[in-house]
Amino acid sequence: MRSKSISIVYHNFAHKGGAENAIYWQIMGLKNRGYQVELITRYYDEKIWGNIDSFPCKIHLVRAKNISRYIRNLIMPFLLVKYLRLSDYLHPHNYPAVVWVALAKFIFRLNSKTISFIQEPNRILHKNKYDDGSAGATFEFPVFDNRTPSWLLPCQIAFERFLDTMSVRRMDKVLVNSNYSKIVTDRVYDIKSQVCLLGEPLDNISSSSAQFTNRKYFLAASRLQSAKNVKTVVEGYSLFLSKCNYDPPKLIIAGDGPDLKNIIRLIHELRIENHVIIRGYVPDEELPALFSGAICLVFLPIREPFGLVTIEAFLNYTPAIVSDEGGPSEVVRDSITGFTISPMDIVALADKLSWIVANQKLVRAMGEIAYKEASVTYSLEAFIKRFESVALGNV
C-alpha cells in the first residue's frame, strides 16, 4: 500500500523562527511515521539549515523573481502545480502559501485535500481585526511593503487581504496552534479552525543535566522586534535593579532583529549596561545550555500565537514569566510553572523577579513541574499524533 504523500508549502525557508522550526520538526515527525513529505518554498538558506540535499525531505525551490507582489500570487499556482498534482494532502503554512495552494487547486481542479496551518493571520493585512483592546494592542505594525508608493498601498493591502480571506475559507481544514490563535483566526476569516498544539524533539532542546545546573541569570530569548516586547523586559529588569540591596542576577538577551539598536540604546539610557548581556543569535546546539543556566525565562510578547521558547525553557526545568494574553498564557500555569503578567506592566515584572530571587527552592519545584508537563504534552510524538488525528482524520 502506498504511503500517503504530503506537500508542505511555505513562502520562505531562508531564515529561522518559530514557524520554520515547527515545519522542520513536523517534517521529521511525519517522515518517521512513514509519510512521503516534500517541502515547496521560494527560498532556502544552507547556512541555516545545512546542505539542501541533506534536508529531511525533498525540497522544491520555486522562483518568481522580478515581478510585482500583485502578480506573484497569481503566477505562483502555475509554478507550483507540477509538484502538487500527485500529493494526497496539500499543506500550506501561513500567508501567502495558502493563497498559492487555494488558487492552484481551483484553477487546475486538483483532487488533493487542503489543510492549512495558520500560525497566525498576517498582522498587517488584518490589522483591523487585531485591535481587540488587549494590553499590547497599540504596538507598532511594520510597513507591509516599503517598495509600494504610499498612495497605492491601501489598494495592495485590500487586494491581498481579499485573496488571503477567500483562500483560507476554501481550505478543507484550518489548523491553529493555540486557543488564542483560534479566537483570532476565526474572527479574521469567519471560519471554525481546529487547535493542534505544536511540539518538538525532546533531545533537540533538553539538556540531560539541566535539573542540576547552577542557575545564574534571567533570560529573555526571542527575535528582537516590536511585537516581542523586549523593551518592557528591559524596563522591568531596570526597576528590579533599583530595588536590589544585593548582587543581582544579570539579564541575558538572546536573539537578533530590527529592534536591536533600540534595545541597546534603552539599556544605555537606563544605565544598566553592566547588568545586561546581549548574546545575539544563539545556534541551536547552544540553546540547552543557555536555558538550563537561567533562573527563569522572561517572555512578554504582544499577542503571541504560541511561543515555542516557553516550551524550550520548560524542557530544561526553567520556569517562565510570560504575558497573560496570547498563546504563552495557555502554556504557563500561573504560580505553578511560572507566572503570567500583563505584558506592559513593568512593576509586576520587577516584583516577580524579586520573588524568584528570594524563593529559589520554590522556583526549582516550578521548573520540575514544568518539565514533567512539557515533556508529555509538547513532545514531537505528541504533536504528530495530534496532527494525524485533527488534520488527517476524516478529511
Tell whether 226 and 316 lie within a shared domain.
yes
Tell whether 260 and 140 lie within a shared domain.
no
Tell whether 175 and 285 lie within a shared domain.
no
Cβ-contact 393, 194 below 8 angstroms: no
Tell whether 260 and 270 lie within a shared domain.
yes
Give the pLDDT of residue 148.
60
- What average pLDDT does the segment 358-367 reach? 96
- Interval 128-173: pLDDT, tens: 777 555 544 444 444 455 556 677 777 878 888 999 999 999 999 9
Burial call 15-47: b when 16+ CB within 10 Å, e when fewer? ebebbbbbbbbbbbbbeeeebbbbbbbbebeee
Tell whether 188 and 251 lie within a shared domain.
no
Tell whether 293 and 239 lie within a shared domain.
yes
Cβ-contact 357, 295 below 8 angstroms: yes
Residue 65 belongs to domain with CATH number = 3.40.50.2000
Tell whether 145 and 268 lie within a shared domain.
no
- Interval 74-88: pLDDT, tens: 899 999 999 999 999
Helix (H) or strand (E) holding 289, with range, is helix 287-292
- Interval 230-244: pLDDT, tens: 999 999 999 999 999
**CA 45 distance to own-chain centroid:** 19
Cβ-contact 167, 109 below 8 angstroms: no
Cβ-contact 79, 62 below 8 angstroms: yes
Residue 213 binned pLDDT confidence (cut-offs 50, 70, 90): confident
Tell whether 159 and 282 lie within a shared domain.
no
Q: List, in sequence order, every residue forming a beta bridge with 5; answer none if it has no partner.
A: 36
